[in-house]
Amino acid sequence: MKLIRPLKFLAVLLSVVGLSSVLSVAVTTKSFSESYPVVVCPPTLDGLGSQISFSSKKTPFQRLQNRTSETAQVKVLRLPVNKDSLIVTSEEVTPVVWQSRSGSWAGGALCMGPASSQWFVGGTADVTTRGRLIIVNSGLSDAVVDVESFTENGKQPLRTVNVSSKNYIVVPIDSLAPGDKTLTVHVVPRSGRINAFMIDEQGKGLKALGGDLVNPAAVASKTLVIPAIPNQSSRNTPALPHTLRVLAPGDVDASITVEVLSGDGVFVPVGLNSQSVSAGIVTEFKLDPNITSNVMAVRISSTEPIVAAVKSTAVVQGKKDFVWSTAAPELVRLTMAITGLDPLVSFVGESINVSLDVTLTNGKVVQEKVAGADIANWRVPTNARSFTITKVGAGTFAGALVSSINGYGYFPIAAGSLLTKIEVPDSNIRVLNP
């Protein structure tokens, strides 16, 4: 008996040591949670009309200033919005907003997830402006936002604004650089879930001079593609004018070369080869290519990162309007809701090979292919509620043009919300046995 007890103790001790050795090995199971962040649509300011296109009547949304977490379904494929900004759970689908002032102008923009940087190349701060910068805070805490402005007179004093939780503010554009003609604005949040939108509207007295929504770019880049620029022309009248606006926001001057792409070919316009752009100075160039195509694109190569856009004059229903065509990101697989818009989509790339699934308003899905070189235009079917890009080659860009009874508009073909992957905390036995 005296021998048995020590043996039992020894066996228990060895078991504990063995178990301890096993427990000292880390057991790790990495897992991820994937989701699409909600997107934010701009509010409808006084005097404007606004409609948002959806791909499903069951899309959940919430009004920005709703202090509860309750959501409702849109119940329609094109939702009129009278005032408030909407927070939309659209998953992989990007809703498109179409805003207008009756008989004056119209423009399109994307509902997008919160942004850490937005460049708006467009607008003016002179006596003709009626433009506004709208800053939306969709988060649950107050936000602090920096607004940097650049003009033909260089960088303007930094303006910092506070935006309360689940609210928005409207900043008159002429307050950013009073009297200056060429404007570029950079919105950078210090905190908060921030989205900004710009309306460039102009007039003299009671006379309307047109307007548009200016779509933002996320970052400055050495290569930019502006894929869809309207070019209204006829055999008997010259094309309506275009203006290229460029900013090199860094500390070093840039040298840019501009290529025009259209059905008439690819060429560098006279005077736009190795043009100098002074750092921090908004510079404009006339862009009047002698082409017959109704749509063109611009590709810009630069020695330094730049932001750029093209302003085009357009005539709709006998009235003058203008369109800001902005740079688009490289095209990826995505879905866009375009109910009621009937857009003309322009694809740009050295070798264009795009496959699409088009969902019609009756639910039927049809397949389309767009192929070509340099630039290829595709008219979306009138009864389409959405299109999905299922296949696209590298180096392809796209933008859309829409003509309505109130005016002409542009929006880039881009994803409003990207799939985010968040790592779930590890399950590690070392916590129990360090």
- Residue-wise pLDDT for 231-280, tens only, equals 987 556 667 889 999 999 999 999 999 999 999 999 999 999 999 999 99
Question: What is the overall mean pLDDT for the chain?
Answer: 90
Enclosing domain of residue 335 = 37-418
pLDDT at 32: 58
Q: Are residues 55 and 187 in the same domain?
A: yes
Residue 246 neighbours by CB distance under 10 Å: 25
* Whether residue 19 has pLDDT greater than 50: no
Q: Are residues 372 and 334 in the same domain?
A: yes
Q: Are residues 20 and 98 in the same domain?
A: no
206 compared with 347, residue with greater pLDDT: 347
Q: Are residues 127 and 27 in the same domain?
A: no
pLDDT at 316: 87
Write out the two tokens for 69. 């977490």
Q: Are residues 23 and 85 in the same domain?
A: no
* 327-386 confidence digits (pLDDT tens): 999 999 999 999 999 999 999 999 999 999 999 999 999 999 999 999 999 999 999 999
* Whether residue 1 has pLDDT greater than 50: no
Q: Are residues 29 and 121 in the same domain?
A: no
Write out the two tokens for 30. 């990495």
pLDDT at 36: 87
Contact between 85 and 42 under an 8 Å Cβ cutoff? The reply is yes
* 269-328 confidence digits (pLDDT tens): 999 999 999 999 999 999 989 899 999 999 999 999 999 999 999 988 888 899 999 999
Q: Are residues 14 and 45 in the same domain?
A: no
Q: Are residues 85 and 205 in the same domain?
A: yes
Q: Among residues of the chain, what percentage have pLDDT more than 90?
A: 79
Number of structural domains in the chain: 2
* Whether residue 407 has pLDDT greater than 60: yes
Q: Are residues 203 and 304 in the same domain?
A: yes
Q: Are residues 25 and 57 in the same domain?
A: no
| Residue 157 pLDDT grade (very low, low, confident, very high; cuts 50, 70, 90) | very high
Mean pLDDT, residues 9-19 taken together = 49
Q: Are residues 9 and 100 in the same domain?
A: no
Q: Are residues 60 and 192 in the same domain?
A: yes
Cα separation, 180 vs 307, in Å, equals 19
| Residue 163 pLDDT grade (very low, low, confident, very high; cuts 50, 70, 90) | very high
Contact between 356 and 390 under an 8 Å Cβ cutoff? The reply is yes
Contact between 173 and 92 under an 8 Å Cβ cutoff? The reply is no
Beta strands 334-337; 93-101: pairing state: parallel
Cα separation, 415 vs 434, in Å, equals 45
